[in-house]
């Protein structure tokens, strides 16, 4: 046992050690030293960028090159192949920036949707008991992920879509949908005065689907009973707008595409450049997503499947209710990377003339104005922000599907 003298010696030694730690020079304190290094690094980077930008502006001024964003108010003087908003050659560069941005978002959304669809279908098909389906999944992944994306874009555009018949010999589905070398044409709904009521009901129905899913999940946790969410969701999205349309007297007319001269006019037109780029991005990225899905499923212990089979669950229920939900914690981080890569790969649109942001702004606008720094800077910011938004949303989704440890 320690006597009182020994205890006092220990306390004295502790006080001395504490006093020594307190009196240590500030430059030997790890926290202060780490903070100093961070501040020095940030200051160095700021000095570097300020110096580079200052020298660049001075050199541009010396050579007579204009700087600034005033060019955005000038007339562009050229047309674009496709625009989601009204655009004429007399509109400004600022408007063509918006046109290119919307076209980029359009092809990115289409690509992400179909790439995810292809990826999950072929990723799950890896584990099919059918030999043919399993081998088709392997062939799909091995072929499309090992061919450069640019070559795939060229294949779909020059080898497939460019070989379609002319407008007068179009492939048709009834008298409503037409496919030819100039693009895909299908009918368009034109809303009347009360069309907003139907669109509002549709938006509410979509919101109701999310609420229904959350309610069904809580109900299953409490009672253990499943609710037919898919059937109820489809019924809500389909029948609610139909009832609203019936009550408002169907405030829509259908604008059908019609052949006039050597081309179709009216309806909705999907240009071949958009089709080729969307197909290539979807198929290429879908192959990588399929590998991510396969890796996620294989990360689940085999005992989970065997236990579910012992309870008499069907294979589709085992996959949808047990395996895939647990595999999502592995799949989602990989999806985040693939989605961001798809958005960046959409800049290959310039190879076939699709009017995305990179093509119409960094390409044509830069050549006409000579404002290289401004146009490139604005384009970089757009792609950076879009990818940060994707990262934020996927991180939130990843937090929602991650396993909770108790």
pLDDT in tens, 136-191: 999 999 999 999 999 999 999 999 999 999 988 989 888 889 999 999 999 988 88
Task: Please write the tens of the pLDDT for every residue from 41-84.
Answer: 999 989 988 888 778 777 777 777 677 788 888 888 888 888 98
Q: What is the pLDDT of residue 1?
A: 47
> For 192, what's the count of Cα atoms within 13 Å in the CB-facing half-sphere?
9
pLDDT beyond 80 at 22: no
Q: What is the pLDDT of residue 192?
A: 84
What is the rounded CA–CA span in Å between residue 69 and residue 66? 10
Neighbours of 244 (CB within 10 A): 21
The whole-chain average pLDDT of the chain stands at 87
Percent of the chain with pLDDT over 90: 43
Q: What is the pLDDT of residue 242?
A: 92
What is the rounded CA–CA span in Å between residue 353 and residue 367? 16
Q: What is the pLDDT of residue 15?
A: 61
User: Per-domain residue ranges for the chain?
Assistant: 4-62, 93-184+269-401, 188-255
Q: What is the CATH code of the structural domain delimited by 93-184+269-401?
A: 1.10.3720.10
Could you give the strand order of the β-sheet that contains 183-186, starting from the edge strand earlier in sequence? 171-173, 177-180, 183-186, 268-270
Instruction: Kindly report the length of the chain.
Output: 406
Q: Record the tokens describing residue 402, joined without a space.
A: 């991650």
Q: What is the pLDDT of residue 5?
A: 53
Task: Please write the tens of the pLDDT for every residue from 192-246.
Answer: 888 899 999 999 999 999 899 889 888 888 887 888 888 889 999 999 999 999 9
pLDDT beyond 90 at 271: yes
- Look at 12-21, 295-304, 351-360 and tell me which has the smallest mean pLDDT: 12-21
Q: What is the pLDDT of residue 339?
A: 96
Q: What is the pLDDT of residue 221?
A: 80
Q: Record the tokens describing residue 378, joined without a space.
A: 């604005």
Name the residue with tokens 């110096």: 51
What is the rounded CA–CA span in Å between residue 12 and residue 240? 80
Highest averaged pLDDT of the listed ranges 34-43, 110-119, 299-308:
110-119
pTM tops 0.85, yes or no: no
């Amino acid at each position: 046992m320690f006597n009182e003298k020994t205890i006092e010696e220990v306390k004295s030694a502790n006080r001395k050690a504490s006093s020594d730690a307190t009196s240590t020079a500030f430059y030997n304190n790890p926290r202060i030293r780490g903070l100093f290094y961070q501040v020095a690094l940030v200051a160095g980077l700021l000095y570097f960028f300020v110096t580079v930008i200052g020298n660049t502006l001075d050199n541009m001024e010396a050579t007579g090159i204009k700087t600034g964003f005033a060019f955005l108010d000038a007339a562009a003087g050229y047309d674009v192949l496709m625009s989601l908003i009204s655009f004429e050659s007399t509109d400004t560069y600022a408007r063509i920036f918006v046109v290119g941005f919307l076209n980029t978002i359009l092809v990115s959304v289409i690509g992400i949707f179909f790439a995810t669809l292809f990826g999950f279908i072929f990723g799950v098909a890896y584990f099919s008991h059918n030999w043919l389906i399993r081998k088709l999944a392997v062939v799909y992944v091995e072929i499309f992920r090992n061919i450069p994306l640019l070559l795939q874009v060229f294949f779909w555009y020059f080898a497939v879509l460019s070989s379609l018949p002319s407008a007068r010999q179009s492939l048709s589905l009834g008298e409503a949908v037409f496919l030819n070398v100039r693009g895909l044409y299908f009918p368009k709904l034109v809303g009347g005065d009360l069309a907003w009521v139907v669109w509002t009901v549709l938006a509410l129905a979509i919101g109701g689907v999310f609420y229904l899913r959350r309610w069904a999940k809580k109900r299953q946790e409490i009672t253990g009973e499943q609710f037919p969410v898919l059937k109820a969701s489809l019924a809500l999205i389909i029948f609610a707008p139909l009832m609203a349309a019936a009550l408002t007297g169907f405030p829509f007319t259908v604008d059908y595409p019609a052949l006039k001269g050597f081309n179709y006019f009216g309806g909705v037109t999907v240009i071949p450049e958009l089709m080729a780029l969307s197909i290539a991005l979807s198929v290429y990225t879908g192959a990588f997503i399929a590998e991510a899905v396969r890796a996620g499923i294989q990360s689940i212990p085999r005992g989970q499947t065997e236990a579910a089979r012992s309870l008499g669950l069907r294979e589709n229920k085992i996959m949808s209710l047990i395996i895939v939900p647990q595999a999502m914690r592995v799949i989602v981080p990989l999806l985040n990377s693939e989605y961001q890569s798809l958005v960046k790969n959409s800049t290959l649109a310039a190879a076939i003339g699709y009017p995305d942001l990179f093509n119409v702004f960094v390409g044509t606008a830069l050549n006409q104005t000579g404002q290289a720094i401004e146009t490139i800077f604005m384009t970089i910011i757009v792609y950076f922000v879009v990818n940060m938004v994707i990262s934020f949303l996927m991180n939130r989704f990843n937090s929602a599907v991650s396993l909770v440890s108790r």
